[in-house]
Amino acid sequence: VGSKRPIKGPRSFTAMASTQPQMYGQPSSDPAAELQRQMATAAAQQAAQQGAQAASQKAKHGFYEIKAYIQENPGSVKVMCFLVGLTLLVFSILGVINPFAVFGKPKDFLANVYNIIFSVLICICEGKEDWMKSCGDLQGKLFQRCFFLATQTGRALFYFYVGSMTILLLPSGFIWTLIYIILGSCLCLLSLLMLFFAHCGRCLGSSYGQMGGSSGQL
């Protein structure tokens, strides 16, 4: 009867302190994995930056390469081509509106619509480069997409086609017929002059060459 049971006391505070509670819903903090993720992100960003720089340099190189091969006309020829193209644009718009009833056939109306487009292209080709850059670099974009217009021979053949089509338009009034014949003849003569400068200019010691030379602009 006098025997006493041993009393079980609580666990020691040292053992309780050594056991940490398990937390759920929190990511495990692994320094090695975090370092790998940071290195992978930095590598991806660096690769993207290098790709963007390479694409930009390639585009600039292509533009400068095309610009280097753009052949310009002498200053006086450029001025004449620009003025003839601008005059053709005005009379072609009048031909489409037809306020004087000088065009009575549908084919004449269509020819004047084409002449509006062609005359705008002539003005862009022969216009001053600073003007074209202020208008969204129309000249550079046109030469990139229609490279034959960037060469003197290509522009000359294009001008000859537009001039011959303008001569054959022949409106009903005498004054209008004379105006269209003069405009078409000027374009044809200027195109022949451009071909002469392009293929025979060096034989005569002319300095007409590529863009960046001594050729003038408007």
Contact of 125 with 145, CB cutoff 8 Å: no
102 vs 111: CA distance, rounded Å: 13
Structure tokens at 65: 């390469």
Residue by residue, pLDDT tens for the chain (218 residues) are: 455 555 544 454 444 444 445 554 445 556 777 777 777 777 777 777 776 676 666 655 554 454 544 566 677 888 899 999 999 999 999 999 988 888 888 888 999 999 999 999 999 998 888 888 888 888 888 988 888 898 889 999 999 999 999 999 888 888 999 999 999 999 999 999 999 888 886 665 544 444 333 344 44
Put simply, whether the predicted model's pTM sits higher than 0.85 gets the answer no
The secondary structure of 61-90 as a DSSP string is HHHHHHHHH-B---HHHHHHHHHHHHHHHH
Structure tokens at 88: 């053709």
